[in-house]
Structures are given as structure tokens and as C-alpha cells.
Structure 1
Amino acid sequence: MCGRYLLRTSPEEVRDTFGYAAQPNFPPRYNIAPTQPIPIVREDAGDRASPEFALVRWGLLPPWVKDIKDFPTLINARSEEAANKPAFRTAMRRRRCLIPADGFYEWQKAENGKKQPYLIQRPDAQVFAFAGLWETWMDAQGNELESAAILTTAANETLTPLHHRMPVVIEKEDRARWLHCDETSGDDISDLLKAAPEDYFRAFPVSTRVNSVANDDESLVVPLADEQTPAATDKEKPSAKKKPKAGDGQMSLF
């Protein structure tokens, strides 16, 4: 599962890591949430030997959706089932992408009943790539909206105490094969849909301020000295009854 993540690596470093030609300028993000714009790297339709950068909505919208307001926000896709699910199977064959990230968050229920957020990142805190799928949706007026989802798999032993699922990570040497959709079938890339090695990530508790999508600053990634869950203010506590609307403290594509 991955419902929040961060990307604070500079645009220049992200470009150098993934090899696309454009130089987009985007700010560091410490609390990226569903429905917000996210950067992806995909195969360039005009030059399939080169990757390209794109900014899309986090929450995949299949082309056949009639009304996006009545459709669930598909931020994750189970890698074991994506090739056969109507919402993901075409993208799995033709529109795979990489989603740059520096880390992601998971929540663990503490003894006091509250949920403690943990930041999961590489030991060197460097950028890596989630396996992603992207799609293009068009409304009745012909306006296009591109969107994406993160593929997940069963968690490795390191992360199982936090959640039974984790994002699929595509290693550097496998990125070209993952993106070349016209040269591979689902069976050919099935070996990439696995949990990261046990030592790939480390996890540590961080402030409950990350619970609110309105908070997006560097303090969210500072490790807690005390692993006990800090008391969250009423403002920071997520509501169990009301779902956040697009634009409630979030960047929006609409």
C-alpha cells in the first residue's frame, strides 16, 4: 500500500537519474497525496529509445469512465491482478511508467490505539522508482486528463510489521525493460513485480503532522527521538466520516 509519499530530490538530479531530456522545475514535496499532480517517467512516443517526463494526476482513470466524481480513486494496483483487471490491463500492456520517489509513509497502530506514521526510505535517502501505470481519460468536451497508479506487491519481512503490502520498486538496470511496453508481454516483466530486497528500505517514526495533507514541509521527515506516538491536535486528526475533497490543502489538476 502507498497512500502518501515524498520527492524532495532536485529536478536536475531526477532528470540525471532517469535520463529524460526536458528540464521541468518542480518544488520539493514532503506529503504527496491522492488526486495531486505527480511526476512520472514514461517512454517517449516520438522517440521510444528515450524516456520523457510528464505531470499527471495520482489516481488512475480508465478511458471508459463516464463520470470521475462517481469513480473511486485508484492510487494503487495489485501487481498480481493488474493484467486481468479491466481498470489496469490495457495500461499494464501498453502504458507502464516509473514514478520517482524519495520515500513513502505507512501507519502502524500503537498500544494506545493511535496510528503512528513511519517514513520508509532508502538507507542513503536517494531517489528510486515505483512501478507505475498511466492512462489518458477524456471528458465529453474532449478535454484530456492523464493519470497514474502505483503497483504494489506483498511486503518483504522488513516492512511487514507496518503493512502487508508495499510498492513495487523498479531497479535501475530494469527500467528500460519496464518502459518498453511494445517489446515485452506481461509474462516477460512478471519477474520485476516483486518485493524489494530486505535491506533496500529502512523505516522510522515521524511526526503525526503528516496525517494532514495541508502539512507539506521538511519537518515531516525528521525522525522522532521517542517512538511513542505524539498527541495529534484536532486539526491534524483525519476525519473518519468526511473524505478530503480535491483542493482541500492539495494541489489540483482541475
Structure 2
Amino acid sequence: MTMGVDGRSVIVTGAGSGIGRAAALAFAAQGDRVLVADLDAEGAAATVEEIERSGGTAVAVTGDLSEQAVVDRVTATAVERFGGVDVLVNNAGIMDSMSAAADVADAEWDRVIRVNLTAPFLLTRAVLPHMLAAGRGAIVNTASEAALRGSAAGAAYTASKHGVVGLTKSLAVMYRKNGVRANAVCPGGTATAIAVEADPAAHGPAALGPHFVNLGRVSQPDEQATAILFLASEAAGNINGAILPVDDGWSAV
């Protein structure tokens, strides 16, 4: 089954490593032109280099996507280099410290919400005019198993990923008559470089501990990328507002 990809302009955030890197490589392998967005300049450059080495087309834009100026630069670069924005993958994110609400510091709450929820909103808002003008577009957000339950992360991360699901569903409803689809993947445990710094004796980690017994098999980033690629493809043309667990059945337990 063909994915129906034909040299589209694709933005992938957090594409310097992990799921984002795997997604960027997968889109490029299908013939898409990929804008690699990441805070890590070295990681973003490495992804672009690998794509170009394989004969693909990519460009890197680095910076903090929770800043409007960076979002504007990402959008403008995609439009100038690739002629528009056909696909947006809001993948960049950070973990919290598994803290329970009573123990979450203001700085942690603000940073997690801004990176995981506000940044996807800002970039979505920036690319929508281009998608609407073209009469088509696909947005795929990386949510999390923590978007489906309250026992997979701390208060800040859980709230941010529930927010991503809400944003995804709102987009699906608001723009379905304009040719723009929005869906989300909810990865379970995945082998990425994202680290969790948590005090196992603190209330949050201690309370969450037993819930990870049914975590399931830890996936590889390319398994998540395959789901993202599908949701962005013409093969998923009637899939809109879907929240897809990619978690080896963890959400079914």
C-alpha cells in the first residue's frame, strides 16, 4: 500500500534525535523535503547530513520552539525553501520529574507546559494559514501514554500531554471542512535519549511505581515513526481527530 507521498514539505520538531529523527528520516526516504527543527544544533545537523547522504532534501532550523521568533523562523524557512507546509509533526517534548502536584515547582510546571503544549500550539497556528491557503494539510502531534491515563508521568507532563490531545481534537473539528487533518500518536515506552530525573523516594515516583508493571515492550523510534508517517499520508485521508496508542497494548491494560 502506497503512503501517497509525493515530495511534500514536512516540518518535524525534535528531529535531532529519537522519534523525531526517525520520523524525519522516514519522510525523507519517501521523497519528502524535511525541515529538521530542534534545540540541539549538532543533533539537527546530523539528521540533515544523514538525509542528504541518502539523496534526500533537508534543512535544519535550531532554537527553542516555545519562542515565537523561532516558530516564525521555522515556518518562514519551510515556505521559502519548500514552497509551503504540507505536513507538520509536533514531536519535540521534555519529561518532568514524575512529581506529584504538591511537589511541582513553578519553574518545572512552566517549562514543561510551554515546551510540550504551547510550542505545538504556536507552530500549528503559524503553519495553518499556509495549509488553509493550499486547501490541504496534515498535522500529527506526539502525545503520550500519559495523555490517556494519570499514572504514566508526573502532574506537569500528564497535564501537558492531555492538553495535546485536546488541541488535536479541536483542530480536527475546526478545520475538517478546509482539508486539514489533525491526529496524534501516544507512544508508550520508547528507546530515546529523554531522561527522567526523579527522586524514587518522593511521593510522585513512589505512587507511580506499581503502574509501570504493565508497560509492555519498549519500542524503537522507527516504530513510532511508522505510525506518524501513516497518519500524515493519503492512506489515512479519512482519519481525523484520532488518538492512536503505539504502546504494545499498555493503554488496553
Asked whether the two chains share a fold, i.e. TM above 0.5, the reply is no
TM-score, reference length from structure 2: 0.29
More strand by share: 1
